[in-house]
């Protein structure tokens, strides 16, 4: 599998500041939906700026779609659609004219297909009805979608989306996530940064976790989650009895959660979960739900780093 993004020792120190990104080794496989996860201030945007040639790395190298950045922007960037730190639009131009403006700046964009490509991009993000309104009258969600449309003006080998759901209401977030899934389903590699664990978990196949400019861990989401064992979970109106019985049955690490759920370490391979469940029911516990819950990315994060995922940053 080839890497769409590959960095070695990528480092950035802003003028007069501390290290924003510290010796980052990142590998984004082709075809993945890559979640770049980290609390605010952990260096996600800085990394993306370096990958797009907007700022010069203090040290290290970066390759994007096979070209070295900085250096190969002219051949690489036309194949990259990017949404960096929110959309930026000419408020006095219509949505359509905004896209035309950005398309004219692309050295590979064919002027003969421009109108159809702009219309198709607007259609893709559902902005056709508002295409001829001044962009300053757009809601934040519409602006975000127009920004996405700009990233979709051409067939792209890579989409870089920096916190694309930031500032949106839940409905707006769902719309953007649905779009990202659609794009990923087309086979486009998506590099998605976010400070929301559940967002990464919902849409990504791979992830890298950043904290304070450092890469903590990267790999397939499933693999990271598999690194931690899930929890045996019993949903019941009788948590006290359930906990007592489970302990008697030799299950370790039994605890009763605030929500009344009883959780415990999953038993070894020699114990059949069905037998445990039957024993609970025989003991008079009314069981609503029973099973081993898959470990979440958050569990993996905590297990791998030994710290909580603190978004406060």
Ligand X SMILES: Nc1ncnc2c1ncn2[C@@H]1O[C@H](COP(=O)(O)OP(=O)(O)O)[C@@H](O)[C@H]1O
- Pick 45 or 228: Cβ nearer ligand X: 45
| Residue placing its CB nearer to Mg ion in the complex, 100 or 193 | 193
| Alpha-carbon distance values, 70 to 10, 277, 294 (Å) | 12, 60, 42
Alpha-carbon gap, residue 109 to 127, rounded angstroms: 21
> Considering CB distances under 5 to 8 angstroms, the limit depending on partner class, which of ligand X, Mg ion, another protein, none binds residue 43?
ligand X
d(CA 41, CA 213): 8
205 vs 269: CA distance, rounded Å: 28
Q: Which of residues 137 and 271 has its CB atom nearest to another protein in the complex?
A: 137
Site for Mg ion in 188-227 (CB under 5 A): none
Nearer to ligand X, 43 or 53 (CB): 43
Contact partner, 171, from another protein, Mg ion, ligand X, none, Cβ < 5-8 Å per class: none
Q: How big is the CA angle at 219 (ends 215 and 223), to the nearest 5 degrees? A: 135
Instruction: Give the nearest distance from C-beta 166 to ligand X in angstroms.
Output: 10
Size of the site for Mg ion (CB under 5 A): 1
- Which residue, 45 or 100, is less far from Mg ion as judged by CB? 45
Chosen residue from 42, 45, 100, 218 binding Mg ion by CB under 5 A: 45
User: Residue 152 binds what, of ligand X, Mg ion, another protein, none (CB under 5 to 8 Å, by partner type)?
Assistant: none
Look up residue 58 and give its two tokens: 């203090």
Angle at 177 between CA 142 and CA 167, to 5 degrees: 50
Cα–Cα distances (Å) from 300 to 41, 199, 216, 229, 257, in that order, read 22, 15, 12, 9, 20
H-helix segments, 80-234: 95-104, 114-124, 140-151, 170-185, 197-203, 221-226
The 5-44 contact track toward ligand X, x by CB under 6 A, reads ---------x--x--x-----------------x-xxxxx
Contact 217, 223 (CB under 8 A): no
Between 86 and 219, name the residue whose CB sits nearer to Mg ion. 86
Bridge pairing between strands 255-256 and 262-264: antiparallel
DSSP 134: B
Q: How many CB atoms lie within 10 A of CB 13?
A: 16
Residue with Cβ nearer ligand X (44 or 143): 44
CB of 71 to ligand X, least distance (A): 22
Determine the interface stretch with Mg ion among 44-52, 57-65, 215-223, 231-239 (rule: CB under 5 A).
Answer: 44-52
Nearest to 194 by CA among 312, 85, 37: 37
Residue 194: CB minimum distance to another protein, A = 19
Among ligand X, Mg ion, another protein, none, partner that 42 touches (CB below 5 to 8 angstroms by kind): ligand X
In the complex, what is the shortest distance from the CB of residue 289 to Mg ion, in angstroms, rounded to a whole number? 38
CB nearer ligand X, residue 38 or residue 239: 38
Binding interface with another protein (CB under 8 A): 4, 14-15, 30, 49, 52-56, 65, 73-75, 77-80, 82, 84-90, 92-93, 100-113, 116-117, 150, 154-158, 187-188
Q: Label residue 136 left, alpha or beta by phi (over 0 means left) and psi (-120 to 50 means alpha).
A: alpha
The nearest distance, CB 38 to ligand X, in angstroms, is 5
- Which residues contribute to the site for ligand X (CB under 6 A)? 14, 17, 20, 38, 40-46
């Amino acid at each position: 599998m080839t890497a769409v993004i590959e960095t070695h020792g990528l480092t950035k120190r802003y003028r007069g500041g501390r290290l924003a990104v510290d010796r980052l080794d990142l590998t984004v496989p082709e075809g993945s939906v890559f979640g770049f996860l980290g609390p605010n201030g952990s260096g996600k945007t800085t990394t993306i700026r370096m990958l797009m040639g907007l700022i010069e790395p203090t040290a290290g190298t970066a390759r994007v779609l096979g070209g070295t950045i900085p250096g190969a922007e002219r051949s690489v960037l036309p194949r990259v659609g990017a949404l960096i730190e929110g959309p930026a639009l000419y408020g006095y131009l219509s949505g359509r004219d905004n896209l035309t403006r950005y398309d004219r700046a692309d050295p590979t964009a064919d002027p003969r297909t421009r109108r159809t490509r702009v219309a198709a991009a607007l259609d893709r993000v559902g902005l056709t009805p508002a295409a001829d309104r001044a962009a300053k009258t757009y809601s934040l969600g519409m602006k975000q979608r127009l920004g996405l449309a700009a990233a979709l003006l051409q067939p792209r080998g890579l989409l870089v989306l920096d916190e694309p759901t930031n500032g949106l209401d839940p409905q707006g977030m769902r719309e953007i996530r649905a779009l990202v899934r659609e794009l990923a389903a087309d086979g486009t590699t998506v590099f998605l940064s976010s400070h929301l664990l559940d967002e990464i978990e919902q849409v990504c196949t791979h992830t890298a976790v950043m904290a304070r400019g450092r890469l903590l861990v990267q790999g397939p989401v499933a693999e990271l989650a598999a690194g931690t064992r899930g929890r045996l979970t019993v949903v019941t109106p009788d948590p006290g009895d359930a906990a007592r019985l489970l302990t008697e049955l030799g299950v370790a690490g039994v605890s009763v959660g605030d929500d009344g759920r009883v959780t415990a370490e999953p038993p070894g391979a020699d114990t059949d979960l069905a037998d445990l469940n039957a024993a609970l029911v025989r003991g008079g516990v009314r069981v609503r739900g029973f099973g081993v819950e898959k470990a979440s990315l958050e569990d993996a994060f905590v297990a791998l780093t030994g710290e909580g995922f603190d978004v406060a940053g």
